[in-house]
Amino acid sequence: MSSFIIYPAIDIRGGKCVRLIQGDYNQETVYNENPLEVAKAWEAQGAKWIHLVDLDGAKAGYPVNDKLVGDIAKAVNVPVQLGGGLRTEADVDHILSLGVSRVILGTAAIENREFVNRVLQKHGDKVAIGIDARDGYVATRGWLETSAVKADELAAELAKAGAKTFIFTDISRDGMMGGPNVEAIVHLAKVSGQSVIASGGVSRYEDLERLAQHAADGVGGAIVGKALYTGSIKLEEAHGRV
């Protein structure tokens, strides 16, 4: 099942590595003052990709921690993907020029479909679509707003527009250590016909094993955050299980 990739998450706010609970900026835990050191540590433990989130950017609507993101991309020898606040072509071009291998578009997928279509045409598989859902409907602007768009319908439409990778988060599971919404993730992969990376709720090795069993259905990996920082999942052991 080597096609299933574990993405250790580094959420950046104020230049530090943090975690939020359910995207709530008032429920923050700082895990490390130096995200670059964290990225190197995950690489040393066998990470094949690193997932970065610019939390300040997600809130502001444009990249805020871009210098740090570029430093991380240059410091590690594995590909890096970034989400958070990428809502213009210039910002996407800028982030990719820093050495980031894949950008993640979230809010823009709802609010500016023409932009997303253009970026998909221009950059192809260097673009992933982040779909964050609350009760099946897409949430935007750092989860502060919920749209009237259904997650599966959005995935099917954007797959037709050229999206090859989706990152799906069930907000109710994020940071709660209660397990991912496997059924919704598999459904999204089948509806879109593309690769879906699970995000949110992975707290045990069994969660990763359950997701990896659906690699043939299009579940391409899982983003793991809090569980790695609390030690309930060790990255090296996780790789041995999936």
Q: Are strands 50-54 and 5-13 parallel, antiparallel or unpaired?
A: parallel
Max CA pair span of the chain:
42
> Model confidence over 182-202: pLDDT tens digits?
999 999 999 999 999 999 889
Residue among 11, 66, 152, 207 flagged as catalytic:
11
Give the pLDDT confidence score for residue 147 in this predicted structure.
Answer: 83
Mean pLDDT of the chain: 92
Q: Please give the Cα distance from 131 to 146 (Å, whole number).
A: 12
Give the pLDDT confidence score for residue 153 in this predicted structure.
Answer: 95
> Model confidence over 16-33: pLDDT tens digits?
999 887 677 888 889 889
Q: Tokens 């994020």 identify what position?
A: 174
Q: How confident is the model at residue 49 (pLDDT cuts 50, 70, 90)?
A: very high
Residue among 54, 66, 91, 132 flagged as catalytic:
132
Of residues 91 and 147, which shows the higher confidence score?
91
Give the pLDDT confidence score for residue 240 in this predicted structure.
Answer: 94
Q: Is 174 a catalytic residue?
A: no
Q: Is 132 a catalytic residue?
A: yes
Q: What mean pLDDT is predicted for residues 160-179?
A: 84
β-partners of residue 11 are: 18, 53
CATH number of the CATH domain containing 57: 3.20.20.70
| Paired tokens of 96 | 């990719």
Q: Is 84 left (phi over 0), alpha (psi -120 to 50) or beta?
A: left
Q: Tokens 């809130």 identify what position?
A: 59
**Interhelix angle for 89-97 vs 113-123, to 10°?**
30
| Paired tokens of 102 | 């894949």
| Sheet strands (E) in 48-194 | 50-54, 80-83, 102-105, 127-134, 137-140, 145-150, 165-170
| Paired tokens of 58 | 């997600």
Give the pLDDT confidence score for residue 176 in this predicted structure.
Answer: 64
Q: C-alpha angle 239/241/242, rounded to 5°?
A: 70
Structural domain boundaries, residue 180: 5-239
| Number of domains composing the chain | 1
Q: Please give the Cα distance from 39 to 24 (Å, whole number).
A: 23
